[in-house]
Chains A and B, each alone.
Chain A
Amino acid sequence: MTTPPQNVQAALASLRERWGGAAPRWGGEVEGALAVAPRPSPAFDPEGLPGGPGALPASDRAIPTGFHSVDAILGLGGLPRSAMTAIQGDGTSGKTTLALQAVAGAQAAGGIVAYLDLARSLDPVEAAARGVQLDWLVVLMPDSLDEALAMAAMLLQDRTVDLLLLDLQFWTPGGAGTSNSNLAERLNRLAALARRAGVQVLVLEPPSLPPALAGVLIQVAALRLELNWRAWIRLGRDVVGQRTEVRVTRDRFGPPGRAAELGILYAEGGLRDACLIRRDLLRESTPGTGRLTAAWGSGVAPLGGVAPPGGYRPNLPTSAARLAPLHPPAITPVPDDATSPSSLASPSPAPGPRQGLRSIRGRADHSWRQAVDGRPGPGREPPCARAGRPDPDAARGGP
């Protein structure tokens, strides 16, 4: 058995890394099972679209958030019951989405939820679209953190709700009222009360929380998640979603430091929502970096070796530049961190949807053909991958 040439070796290695057993192997020539490999589902996980809570059932220790990638990095596979969880994030980070999805999950498991709407920004229509049952969502509107904590204490003492959501989003300290240290102390006691009562508490923590309070949360929260915006997801010029990184900064039930990427889409209830399912229409824009990111999926790192369907989209600066209409260029670019067979492929025009798998196969075949011995190979290329490229068989006068 001959050794494959170096570049083919490297190509096979990276394919193996990505596709595992489904990757082509070397057995004198490249033979592959990619054609029969099932399409990996994460790339098409419709995680971000509003809908019911995730399929994972609640256990008696945790309620899943409904986002598979997030549940996977949590020690209990969900948000712990009978404990406090703090979710931190600035700006459009997805924490409200995550929180409401968790509320929906708690209700689906038979719970009644109390929402302390200090931020006065609950949108019941959106909540319902996320799967929240408004009939079992008690909304309380405290005027101050002081009042919010008092209301929460009353609810916890009577154990009449299963989940308490404390929304501190726009809260600013100061003004007349209880001092921060007093509030911190009460927050501490609230956490203890929640543990004793067996009630789950979720706190939406803004970054501007004063140190005294933030400190308490760091101590008493059994789980602390930090959400950071990573990129916008665009449909044409419009921003229709975002990619967010979820990082576990503290987890009493598992190792901290784990992170996952979450894709969130904003469905606005019109005809256009049908486009959100078409991943090929969506683009990401990550200002400032040169990284290529494909049409996104949760928990998927930037894909090496596969160009995003439709081609390369220029990165957009965050300043007020107007957007140019999108024209996919004719050339599929080379990602800088991949030693994939694409470096061997001749340029192809922007392919249609679902080209990922075919592109690999096409290119692998092609690269083998070109690099090994120039003989036409047994592999068959789908016509669309070949479209526009010079037909190697034709050049050689046929198989």
Chain B
Amino acid sequence: MTRLLREHPSIDVELGPDGEPIAFRWNGRQERIEVCNRWRVEESWWSRPIARDYFKVAGASWLALLYLDRVDLTWHLERLYD
């Protein structure tokens, strides 16, 4: 069961040496994470392109779904598992 954060808030992400997220900061909390799964979504390239790299990450207190918006290169939090 996940919570879908409808506005996909922007987050600060710290990347590890291989480019994968190792920590993120949101709502005043910092969380070190490990990536458990990743996939890419690309849609509607013909009109309004959407390209996102999704990362399912597990931290000390949260299991979350982040994505990197490859169009404007920003990181967002999409879901929190609960």
Q: In the complex, A touching B, CB below 8 Å? A: yes
Q: Which residues of A contact B (CB under 8 A)?
A: 50, 89-97, 100, 119-123, 126, 130, 169-170, 229, 232, 234, 237-239, 242, 264, 266, 318-323
| CB atoms of B3 and A169 under 8 A apart | yes
Extra 15 A-B pairs, beta carbons < 8 Å, given A93-B82, A234-B36, A264-B1: A91-B82, A92-B62, A92-B82, A94-B1, A120-B5, A121-B80, A122-B3, A122-B4, A126-B2, A238-B36, A242-B81, A266-B2, A318-B34, A318-B60, A322-B34
| CB atoms of B32 and A91 under 8 A apart | no
Q: Once the chains are docked, how many angstroms separate the CA of A278 from the CA of B63?
A: 22
> A92-B63, A266-B1, A320-B23 are contacts. A121–B6 as well, Cβ < 8 Å?
yes
Nearest first, the 8 A-B pairs at minimum CB distance are A91-B61, A97-B1, A121-B3, A123-B4, A96-B82, A320-B22, A238-B37, A92-B63
Q: Once the chains are docked, how many angstroms separate the CA of A323 from the CA of B33?
A: 12
22 inter-chain pairs at a CB distance below 8 angstroms, sorted by A residue, are A50-B1, A90-B61, A92-B61, A92-B80, A93-B82, A96-B1, A96-B2, A96-B3, A97-B1, A97-B82, A120-B5, A121-B5, A121-B80, A122-B4, A126-B4, A169-B82, A318-B32, A318-B59, A319-B32, A320-B23, A321-B34, A323-B34
| CB atoms of A238 and B63 under 8 A apart | no
Q: Once the chains are docked, how many angstroms separate the CA of A121 from the CA of B23?
A: 22
Q: Which one of A121, A122, A232, A318 lies within 8 Å of B63 (CB-CB)? A: A232
Of residues 18 to 76 in B, which have CB atoms within 8 Å of A's CB atoms?
A: 22-23, 27, 32-34, 36-37, 56, 58-63
On chain A, the residues within 8 Å of B33 by CB distance are 320
On chain A, the residues within 8 Å of B79 by CB distance are 123
Q: Once the chains are docked, how many angstroms separate the CA of A318 from the CA of B57?
A: 11
- Is the contact region of chain B dominated by helix, strand, or loop, or is it mixed? strand
> A92-B63, A321-B34 are contacts. A232–B58 as well, Cβ < 8 Å?
yes
Chain B residue total in the interface (Cβ 8 A): 27
Q: Once the chains are docked, how many angstroms separate the CA of A328 from the CA of B63?
A: 25
Q: Once the chains are docked, how many angstroms separate the CA of A89 from the CA of B79?
A: 17
Q: Considering the complex, give the chain A residue whose CB is closest to the CB of B23.
A: A320
| CB atoms of B58 and A239 under 8 A apart | yes
- Is the contact region of chain A dominated by helix, strand, or loop, or is it mixed? loop
On chain B, the residues within 8 Å of A100 by CB distance are 1
Query: Least Cβ distance of B56 to chain A in Å?
Result: 7
- The listed residue with most B CB atoms (<10 A of its CB), out of A95, A319, A321, is A319
Q: Once the chains are docked, how many angstroms separate the CA of A68 from the CA of B22?
A: 37
On chain A, the residues within 8 Å of B5 by CB distance are 120-121
Query: Least Cβ distance of B18 to chain A in Å?
Result: 8
On chain B, the residues within 8 Å of A264 by CB distance are 1
Q: Once the chains are docked, how many angstroms separate the CA of A92 from the CA of B61?
A: 6
On chain B, the residues within 8 Å of A120 by CB distance are 5-7
Q: Once the chains are docked, how many angstroms separate the CA of A318 from the CA of B37?
A: 16
Query: Least Cβ distance of A247 to chain B in Å?
Result: 17
On chain A, the residues within 8 Å of B63 by CB distance are 92, 232, 239, 242
Q: Considering the complex, give the chain B residue whose CB is closest to the CB of A96.
A: B82
| CB atoms of A95 and B82 under 8 A apart | yes
Q: Considering the complex, give the chain B residue whose CB is closest to the CB of A141.
A: B6
Q: Once the chains are docked, how many angstroms separate the CA of A237 from the CA of B20?
A: 15
| CB atoms of B16 and A320 under 8 A apart | yes
Query: Least Cβ distance of A94 to chain B in Å?
Result: 6
Query: Least Cβ distance of A120 to chain B in Å?
Result: 6
Q: Considering the complex, give the chain B residue whose CB is closest to the CB of A124.
A: B4
On chain A, the residues within 8 Å of B16 by CB distance are 320
> A92-B81, A94-B82, A318-B60 are contacts. A130–B1 as well, Cβ < 8 Å?
yes
